[in-house]
A and B are shown apart, each in its own frame.
Chain A
Amino acid sequence: MTDQTVATAIPQPRAAKNKTASAGQWRLIWWRFCQHRVALASGVVILLVYLVAAFAEFLAPTSEQAYDPRFTYAPPQQIRFAGYDADGTFHPLYVNGYSAKIDPIALNRTYVTDPSVIIPVGFFVRGEPYRFWGLFETDRRFIGPLEQGQPFYLFGADRLGRDVLSRTIHGTRISMSVGLVGVTISLILGIFLGGISGLYGGWVDDVIQRGIELLKSIPTIPLWMGLAAAVPISTDPVTVYLWITIILSLIGWTDMARVVRGRFLSLKTEDFVIAAQLDGCSKMRIIWRHMVPSFMSHIIASVTLAIPTMILAETALSFLGIGLRPPVVSWGVLLQEAQNILAVSSAPWLFLPGLAVIITVLALNFLGDGIRDAADPYEY
Chain B
Amino acid sequence: MTVDADHRQSPLLELRDLKMHFPIRRGAFRRIVGHIKAVDGVSLSVNRGETLGIVGESGCGKSTLARTILRVYHPTGGEISYTGRSGAPIDLATLSGPALKEIHRDIRVVFQDPQSSLNPRLRVIDIIGEVLKVNGIATGSELEDRVAELMRSVGLRPEFMHRYPHAFSGGERQRVSIARALAPEPRLVIADEAVSALDVSVQAQTINLLQDLQERFGLTYLFVAHDLSVVRHISDSVAVMYMGRVVEKAPTDAIFASPRHPYTEALLSAVPTPDPRLRRRGRRIHLAGEVADPANPPSGCPFHPRCRYATGICKSDVPPLRSIATSDHSVACHLADNLKLNPFDEYAFAELH
B134 touches A285 (CB 8 A): yes
Q: A13-B167, A272-B118, A378-B120 are in contact. Are A6 and B209 (CB under 8 A)?
A: yes
Does B311 sit within 8 A of A, measured CB to CB? Answer: no
Interface centre among B30, B121, B209 (most CB of A within 10 A): B121
Does B164 sit within 8 A of A, measured CB to CB? Answer: yes
Interface-facing stretch out of A21-29, A80-88, A233-241: A21-29
Does A9 sit within 8 A of B, measured CB to CB? Answer: yes
A24 touches B166 (CB 8 A): no
Q: How many angstroms from the CA of A285 to the CA of B152 in the assembled complex?
A: 28
Interface-facing stretch out of A138-146, A243-251, A274-282: A274-282
Which residues A146-183 have CB closer than 8 A to chain B?
Answer: none
Q: How many angstroms from the CA of A322 to the CA of B124 in the assembled complex?
A: 55
Q: How many angstroms from the CA of A294 to the CA of B118 in the assembled complex?
A: 12
B121-157, CB under 8 A of A: which get 1 and which 0? Answer: 1110000001100110000000000000000111111
Chain B residues near A1: list those with CB within 8 A.
212
Q: How many angstroms from the CA of A70 to the CA of B105 in the assembled complex?
A: 84
Chain B residues near A272: list those with CB within 8 A.
116-119
Q: How many angstroms from the CA of A280 to the CA of B119 in the assembled complex?
A: 16
B166 touches A279 (CB 8 A): no
Query: Per DSSP, are chain A's interface residues mostly helix, strand or loop, or mixed?
Result: helix
Interface-facing stretch out of B4-12, B107-115, B296-304: B107-115
Beta-carbon nearest neighbor of B177 in chain A: A275
Q: A1-B212, A23-B164, A279-B134 are in contact. Are A10 and B155 (CB under 8 A)?
A: yes
B14 to chain A, nearest CB (A): 21
Q: A271-B116, A278-B70 are in contact. Are A13 and B163 (CB under 8 A)?
A: yes
Chain B residues near A3: list those with CB within 8 A.
152-153, 155
Number of contacting residues on A, CB 8 A?
37
Does A290 sit within 8 A of B, measured CB to CB? Answer: yes
Interface centre among B116, B153, B154, B212 (most CB of A within 10 A): B116
Does A12 sit within 8 A of B, measured CB to CB? Answer: yes
B157 touches A279 (CB 8 A): no
Does B22 sit within 8 A of A, measured CB to CB? Answer: no
A25 touches B120 (CB 8 A): yes
A8-19, CB under 8 A of B: which get 1 and which 0? Answer: 011111000100
B153 touches A21 (CB 8 A): no
Does A20 sit within 8 A of B, measured CB to CB? Answer: yes
B158-181, CB under 8 A of A: which get 1 and which 0? Answer: 001011101111011001000010
Does B325 sit within 8 A of A, measured CB to CB? Answer: no
Does B340 sit within 8 A of A, measured CB to CB? Answer: no
Q: How many angstroms from the CA of A380 to the CA of B118 in the assembled complex?
A: 14
Chain A residues near B172: list those with CB within 8 A.
10, 12-13
Q: How many angstroms from the CA of A270 to the CA of B122 in the assembled complex?
A: 15
B105 to chain A, nearest CB (A): 7
Does A107 sit within 8 A of B, measured CB to CB? Answer: no
A21 touches B160 (CB 8 A): yes
Chain B residues near A219: list those with CB within 8 A.
none
Beta-carbon nearest neighbor of A285 in chain B: B134
Does A203 sit within 8 A of B, measured CB to CB? Answer: yes
Does A226 sit within 8 A of B, measured CB to CB? Answer: no
Q: How many angstroms from the CA of A279 to the CA of B117 in the assembled complex?
A: 12
A224 to chain B, nearest CB (A): 31
A271 touches B111 (CB 8 A): yes
Q: How many angstroms from the CA of A10 to the CA of B167 in the assembled complex?
A: 14
Chain B residues near A13: list those with CB within 8 A.
160, 163, 167-169, 172
The 8 closest A-B pairs by CB, nearest first: A21-B167, A6-B155, A271-B117, A279-B131, A272-B119, A378-B120, A21-B163, A3-B152
- Interchain Cβ contacts under 8 Å between A and B, 5 examples: A10-B171, A21-B163, A23-B164, A272-B117, A278-B104
